[in-house]
Amino acid sequence: MSDMKEIFQAVLEGDRETTVTLVQAAVDSGVVANDILQNGLIAAMLEVGHQFEEGEYYVPEMLISARAMQGALDILKPLLVKAGVEPIGKVIIGTVKGDLHDIGKNLVAMMLEGAGFKIQDLGIDVAPETFVEAIRNDPNVDIVGLSALLTTTMPSMDATIKAIDEAGLRGKVKIMVGGAPVTSNYSQRIKADGYAPDAGQAVTLAKSLLGEKSVHQ
């Protein structure tokens, strides 16, 4: 557990080099990747957010902590993603327009990939029309995943779903949404097909949406 405290502290301080060294050491000594993720990295990012709310941290501090977390995720990715799995479905994922947060979205993409989904990651600040084009260009896409971390960008999820609808593509894909301010209620309000609060539950949801999709087609 002291490993976790040190990892937590290194991310909180935005010390990328120490974070990477500690995470590699924890992996080498047999600590499970998910423990490092939940108890070290995600816990630290929650604290970073808390410090920001308290006015103790500003944007630069959030940014360097995010870089430390990203360095650690590069180490964990091969452990979270199984290589050579036959794809069970295709997911297009992105952080919606106006929003630059990508750590949670990357984590969801990683876990989905680990569960056997083929992923097309459109990145951050993705406009509704970019999602529409990506769906139009790929006959094999099953699920579209929208991530938002800001209350001010949640309406971009609504706009994206409406754009997919207006393009006549709504019947072709299932849409799942997530991100810290997003709720199940909001997901229903904007007529998404499902909401997941974290990356683990995003995998369960994606599998169930894939099942629904094959039943209805």
Provide the binding-site residues for ligand B1M, judged by CB under 6 A: 42, 45-46, 48-49, 52-53, 59, 62-63, 66, 93, 98-105, 107-108, 145-147, 149-152, 176-181, 196, 198-199, 202
Task: Return the structure tokens found at 31.
Answer: 């600590």
In the complex, what is the shortest distance from the CB of residue 157 to ligand B1M, in angstroms, rounded to a whole number?
Answer: 10
Using CA atoms, how far residue 80 sits from 32, 115, 154, 217, in Å, is: 10, 9, 28, 31
Considering beta carbons, is residue 30 or 197 the nearer one to ligand B1M? Answer: 197
Query: Rounded to an integer, what distance in angstroms lies between the CA atom of residue 172 and that of residue 213?
Result: 9
In the complex, what is the shortest distance from the CB of residue 151 to ligand B1M, in angstroms, rounded to a whole number?
Answer: 4
Considering beta carbons, is residue 28 or 59 the nearer one to ligand B1M? Answer: 59
Considering beta carbons, is residue 137 or 151 the nearer one to ligand B1M? Answer: 151
Query: Rounded to an integer, what distance in angstroms lies between the CA atom of residue 10 and that of residue 41?
Result: 9
Which DSSP letter does residue 41 get?
A: I
In the complex, what is the shortest distance from the CB of residue 199 to ligand B1M, in angstroms, rounded to a whole number?
Answer: 4
Query: Rounded to an integer, what distance in angstroms lies between the CA atom of residue 95 and that of residue 148?
Result: 6
In the complex, what is the shortest distance from the CB of residue 3 to ligand B1M, in angstroms, rounded to a whole number?
Answer: 19
Residue 17, beta-bridge partner list: none
Considering beta carbons, is residue 26 or 147 the nearer one to ligand B1M? Answer: 147
In the complex, what is the shortest distance from the CB of residue 13 to ligand B1M, in angstroms, rounded to a whole number?
Answer: 14
Using CA atoms, how far residue 202 sits from 28, 55, 113, 130, 152, in Å, is: 28, 32, 11, 22, 22
Considering beta carbons, is residue 30 or 195 the nearer one to ligand B1M? Answer: 195
